[in-house]
Amino acid sequence: MNPVKNINRLLIANRGEIAARIIRTCQKLGIESVLASSQADLDSLPARLADQVINIGPPPSLQSYLNVEAVIKAAVQVKADAIHPGYGFLSENAALAKASEKAGIIFIGPTIEQLDAIGDKLKARENALAAALPLVPGGAVADAGEAEKLAAEIGYPVLIKAVGGGGGRGMQVVHDESTLAASMTLARAEAENAFNDERLYLECFVERGRHVEVQVLGDGDNIIHLGTRDCSIQRRYQKLVEEAPAPDLDPALREHMENAAVAFAKHLRYRGAGTVEFLVDTQRASFYFLEMNARIQVEHPVTEEITGLDLIAQQIRIAEGRPLGMSQEEVCFNGHAIECRLNAEDCMNNFQPSPGTVSAAQFPAGPGIRIDSHIETGSVVPPYYDSLLGKLIVWGEDRATAMSLLKKALEHCQIDGIENNIILHRAIMASEEFTQGAVDSLFLNKLLETVSLEKTTNG
């Protein structure tokens, strides 16, 4: 364990709702917050909440939030003790971690070696195998010829994935050999553009699967899990609804997954907050390792709601060099939480992004309701970044109670002036299939074929 070093001033190298979220924990802990902001976000809510704001570049991400040199320069200029990268952007970037270490600044995240081991999806698979985790059949493919050979061995459909990242970029589902070569070309180009890494690998595509993940915390020596989350409702590989704990899981399977996640993190001697993601094959009642995300997740609030823990505060504590301070037996799980991601997108126009000015924003309030957002009346949603406006999170004593509260909360949620997906969430919550219990990855596509999504704004 490294010697303890107090963090008194924290540079937040991110934007939007996660920046506001980190600032609020800094306020609670008495830590001075400095927001590293692009020109587009200088008038945002996080900029007003932060103790200090520093401009790190023009609106395009490559010139600001993805610019390692600009982030380090800003941290040095404001004499920050540490950098919190949030999620997305540079959050899992080993180059930022290395540059931070060189500058004598704490990087709030895992070690450089762990980032290298996890960020490269092939290395992650190798480490998962070494930790005795079950893997989806597949492997690296250098060209279409290798892909055709491997696909023939594991069977169609197959999923092409980018080695250097995730979030749906560089991913292509292939149902037969006739489209494999073209799909490889598309995936390679997208991977190169998104991650500057054109390497691909191929996996068996489980059509009726659930996306279940396990939150872990570790200080390098002590590793614990904070239970499961179900993130199966996705559109274009982007999560829309998350809940904790994952519903309708066989208790033995749940325990096996939680133990597997801890085993993987222990194999890495993991430090910080991380999420081990699994694919649950609902037809075979089995699961496979997908990847590990070495950062805070968008969906972390549902875990906070059922454990009572502040995961940002835990990240900061671990980064300061302090021991985790709790054992697995001391983690208490209580109730059920569900999160809806509110996005600026046009449900009537193939979910195209909808930047613009928010003419009115109304969010519900009350016991069991939490809003994590950077949006308010008058906020400008720029066209340069992710479309996430915020998250509506509810907690109840059980899943039925949480769902009932969420349905009511969505009726009192309104964002005008830009198109948004609130109406889609209302349709999901009204679905009898979702109400009954866990759904798989095919649920949303089936729902979109049967419901009509009317316009969501007056603006």
d(CA 448, CA 15): 31
Question: Residues 123, 116: contact at Cβ < 8 Å?
Answer: yes
Catalytic residue (choose from 199, 210, 254, 295): 295
- Phi/psi region, residue 362 (left: phi>0; alpha: psi -120 to 50; beta: rest), is beta
Structure tokens given for 260: 């597997």
Which of these, 238, 232, 287, 242, lies nearest to 446 by C-alpha position? Answer: 232
Token pair 């073209």 in the structure block, residue: 182
What is the distance, to the nearest Å, from the Cα of residue 218 to the centroid of all Cα atoms in its chain?
18
Under 8 Å between Cβ of 218 and 274: yes
Active site residue 271: no
Could you list the active site residues? 295
